[in-house]
A = this chain, B = another copy of it.
Amino acid sequence: MNNGAKEKTMKKVDGRGQRSEESRGRILNSATRIFAKKGLDGARIDEIAEDAGINKRMLYHYFGSKEDLYVEVLRFNYEKIYTLSKNAFNLADDSKENVTRAVRAYFYFLAKNEDFVRLTSWEALNGGRFAKKVIPQFFDLVELEFGDIIKDGIKRNFIRPDTDIRQVIVSVQALCLVYFNRREIVQPLWQEDLLSEEMLEVRLQHILALIFDGIFSHEEE
């Protein structure tokens, strides 16, 4: 259905096709926000349509059903993180630098994409039921490529050879996600706004310190 709609737009380069593509985009944006906020069950088609400023009927025209729209929202948002992994994850010689760059990129991606964080959390509670329709191997691909970085680090003897790469992937993801995921809940522990630039950097440094002093061999210390 997604593809179908896209092809249509391709064909028609005149005014009508563009409006159509614009409507589709507006729906997608509104749906992202509202599904992120309330989940599949909590979201209301009426609210999305009103927020997008379009007629409810068009929403069905473009996306078929609430569930299909939800899946498209997942696709739309996961494409963003694909892009991230393509760009920010090139191996350099310094393993520590590689890991730092990757973690930083992931962490700040999450910081800037609260909707993605929430969508991924709803999906976790769904057991990835819908995301699987979008990503065969659901599970941020970032993490898979992060695995390569670790593997490379082991080769170069920077990282302990007995390191369980999969566990590390899961852990790094957890350490980053949790900060946004449970932000409202842990916020009371701090005076400062958890999303301020300073606090974000504090958290990132904490994560890096925890990881490095754990997984790196300690010969250099």
Contact = CB atoms under 8 A, between A and B. Distances in A.
A94 interface: no
A185 B175 CA distance: 16
A109 interface: no
A161 interface: no
Interface stretch (A22-30, A34-42, A68-76, A83-91): A34-42
Interface string A179-216: 10110111011100000000000110011011111110
Given A166-B190, A181-B124, A210 B203 contact: no
Contact of A206 (B39, B121, B171, B190): B171
Question: How extensive is the interface on chain A, given as a class?
Answer: 35 or more
Contact of A173 (B164, B178, B213, B215): B178
A179 B170 CA distance: 8
10 contacts: A39-B39, A40-B42, A121-B121, A124-B184, A128-B185, A137-B188, A170-B189, A171-B207, A210-B210, A214-B214
